[in-house]
Structure 1
Amino acid sequence: MAEVRLQNVSKSFGRQTALEDVSLRVPNGSFVVLLGPTGAGKTTLLRIVSGLDTPNEGDVFIAGRSMAGLPPAERNVAMVFQQYSLYPHLTVRENMEFPLKSPLLRTPKAEIARKVGEVAEILQISHKLDNKATALSGGEMQRVSIGRALVRSPNVYLMDEPLSSLDAKLRADLRVELKNIQANLGATFLYVTHDQIEAMTMATHVGVLDHGRLVQFGTPREIYEQPVSIYAAGRLGQPHINILPADLFGPAPSGAAYIGMRPEQILQGEGQDSLVKRVEHLGDQTRLHLAFRNHDLTTVIDAHTPLRAGDIVKIQPLKPFYFDAAGARIV
């Protein structure tokens, strides 16, 4: 496994800037998630690391070696795409064997059989090895796609939203499996998603991208608890952070235009009256949708609360965030 480092990488497609001066270090053995909405530059960054795209400026280093001019086949990376990209006429076994039969790897037959068997067992598809890819369910196809990458033992695994097309239960199951696999292998993962739950539960580090710029990089907890901007704060957390006028609850710091409160930053039972508009019982917790001075906000409360729509609760901020007019955090 290896460290991946991007140094002042920029990439444009015509007049559209996909990445702008991105510098990023993916530590050896880490699980780094790139987070952001569609168009943020996540997939472009992954393709540049893999060699599928070439940066206009900057360089990529894997294991301390510049990748400038090296094609994908010589970078020793394995990539998993959002779509399964399997060979439909081949069996599961043949699909998983395919990268190991590359002339560059020259893997012995016994080693191929051992690796395919081990990975198939980890992904719980051993009983499907002799099935054609076309006979698999969507979840099984994605397991094979992931397995085809895992047999490689590359320097780094690159994954582009590999779980986004799966149903919720399978997505949750594979999320746990992938994290366990990464931890057991000590592998370096660079993983693209727009799903904040994947980022919070899987990542050792999160890179938040906004229109091609890396706006914050740190552990999920760091970004959740110390966001640098409204944009970064909004990438993590369910329910989403509440952003309201800075002086809504009283005097605000100089230069503050907005106050930001995550659900746990709203103290209930003290402060000012707020109207309960809707109550959502979610089993382990209950969400309260409140109206306060013509502004909507959401908080969480005990699962067994007797509160109902129309009730009045008292609320006040508890160690909130403040942001200036441009959305930058005021510390």
Structure 2
Amino acid sequence: MAEVTLTGVSKSFGSDTALDNLTMTVPDGSFVVLLGPTGAGKTTTLRMVSGLDRPDSGRVFIGGLDVTALTPAQRNVAMVFQQYSLYPHLTVRENLEFPLKSPQLKTPQVQIDRKVNEVAGILQIGHKLNNRATELSGGEMQRVSIGRALVRNPAVFLMDEPLSSLDAKLRADLRIEIKNIQARAGATFLYVTHDQIEAMTMATHVGVLDHGRLVQFGTPREIYENPVSIYAASRLGQPRINLIPANLFPGAPENATEIGLRPEQIKQGEGESSLVQRVERLGDQTRLHLAFKDHKLITVTDAHTELKPGDIVPIRPQNPFYFDANGARIPPRTTT
């Protein structure tokens, strides 16, 4: 497997800037998830690494080799697209075999059969191997698409929202399987998703992109617990971080305009009064929807709470995040 490095990569499409001087390193054997809304530059980053597009400026390295001018075939990467990339006239087995029958690989048939059967079992499509791609459901087609990448041993796996079209149970199952595959193989994964759960549970590192710029790069926990900005803080966490004017609670830094409160940063039972507007029971936890000085807050409480709409709950911030007028994080005060 291989480390991937982008240095000063920029890419524009007409007047639209997709990537703006992007510098990022995907460590060897890591599972890096790119997060950001539509237009942030996530898919363009994948296309830079794969060779499907070339940067206007900057360089791309895989395993220390400058691959900027190389074709996709020369880069030894495997890409899974959001849309199904199958040959409709071929069976599932033939679709899975296809990458291994490349003249460049010259894989013996015995190895092809073993690898195809192994991947089909992991993806729960062994019983569909003799079906044509046109006879599959959408979820099955996406599993075959993922399988076409897994049967190979590329330097880097590139995945562009591969689970977005699957049902909830299958997404959960494949989330675990893909992470297990990556961990067992020590493979390098660069993965795009809008799903915060996928990012939190699968990633070793998260890259937060905004209009083609890398805003923050770190472990999911680092970004969740120590975001550099409102934008970064809003990318992870369910329910989303609460943002309210900083002056609603005492003790805010002088240049703070907003205070960010994740559910666990709202201390209940002491402080200033808030009104319970809704109680949302989710089984393992209960969310409280609160009204506080004309602002809405969401926090979590005991799954078996007896609170109900109309109740009053005292609250106060506990280790909150403060942000300035530009949305940048104000470092917490240090004590000596």
TM-score by length of structure 1 reads: 0.98
1:163-206 alpha-carbon deviations (Å, 9 max, x no partner): 11112121111111111111111111000011111100100000
Output the CA distance in 2 between the equivalents of 1:94 and 1:322: 56
User: By how many angstroms is 1:136 displaced?
Assistant: 1.5
Establish whether residue 308 from structure 1 lines up as the match of residue 305 from structure 2: no
Give the letter for the 1:300 counterpart: V
- Deviation per CA, 1:272-320: give whole Å up to 9, x if none: 1000111101111111111111111110001111111111000000000
The answer on 1:76 being equivalent to 2:76 is: yes
Deviation of the 1:253 alpha carbon: 0.7
Question: Aligned with 1:139: secondary structure?
Answer: helix
CA displacement 1:92-143 (0-9 Å, x = unmatched): 1100011111112121222211211221122222221111111122222111
1:189 maps to 189
For structure 2, list consecutive stretches of 5 or more residues without a partner in the other structure.
332-336
Q: Indicate the residue corresponding to 1:324 in structure 2.
A: 324
| Pairs within 5 Å for 1:104-143 | 104-143=104-143
Number of the residue aligned with 2:293: 293
CA distance in 2, matches of 1:150, 1:316: 49
Answering whether residue 236 of structure 2 is matched by residue 231 of structure 1, we say no
For 1:91, the equivalent position in structure 2 comes to: 91
> For 1:325 and 1:68, how far apart are their aligned partners in 2?
39
Worse overlay, 299-308 or 134-143: 134-143
Aligned-residue offset at 1:254: 2.2
Which stretches of structure 1, 4 residues or more, deviate above 3 A after TM superposition?
A: none
Letter in 1 for 2:73: A
Q: CA deviation at 1:38?
A: 0.7
Per mean C-alpha deviation after superposition, the further-off stretch among 26-35 and 167-176 is 167-176
AA paired with 2:8? Answer: N
Separation in 1 of the partners of 2:180 and 2:100? Answer: 23
Q: Which runs of 5+ in 1 are unaligned?
A: none
Q: Which residue number corresponds to residue 6 of structure 1?
A: 6
Aligned residues: 331
Bigger drift between 107-116 and 223-232 goes to: 107-116
Distance (whole Å) between structure 1 residues aligned to residue 316 and residue 147 of structure 2: 50
Aligned CA-pair RMSD: 0.8
User: 1:151 offset after TM fit, Å?
Assistant: 0.8
Residue aligned with 1:179, SS: helix
- What is residue 56 of structure 1 aligned with on the other side? 56
- Code of the residue aligned with 2:113 in structure 1: it is A
Pairing of 1:35-54 with structure 2 (within 5 A): 35-54=35-54
Which 10-residue stretch deviates more, 179-188 or 106-115? Answer: 106-115
Deviation track 1:195-230 (CA, whole Å, cap 9, x = no partner) reads 111100100000000111000000000000000000
Determine the C-alpha separation between the residues in 2 that align with 1:108 and 1:282: 52
In 2, Cα distance between equivalents of 1:122 and 1:305? 41
Matched with 2:172 is: 172
Between 1:54-63 and 1:126-135, the stretch displaced more is 126-135
Identity of aligned residues (%): 76
Alignment partner, residue 254 of structure 1: 254
Which residue does the alignment assign to 1:283? 283
Q: Deviations over 1:57-76 (max 9, x none)?
A: 10110010001210111110
Corresponding letter in the other structure for 1:276:
V
Measured in 2, the distance between the counterparts of 1:325 and 1:233 equals 15
Matched to 2:2, the amino acid is A
In the TM superposition, residue 251 of structure 1 has moved relative to its aligned partner by: 3.2
CA distance in 2, matches of 1:225, 1:190: 23
1:308 partner amino acid = K
In structure 2, how many angstroms separate the alpha carbons of the residues matched to 1:230 and 1:290? Answer: 21
- Provide the rounded CA distance (Å) in 2 between the counterparts of 1:285 and 1:251: 30
What amino acid does structure 1 have at the position aligned with 2:299?
T
In structure 2, what is the equivalent of residue 207 of structure 1? 207
Which range moves more in the overlay, 201-210 or 98-107? 98-107
Q: Return the TM-score normalized by structure 2.
A: 0.97
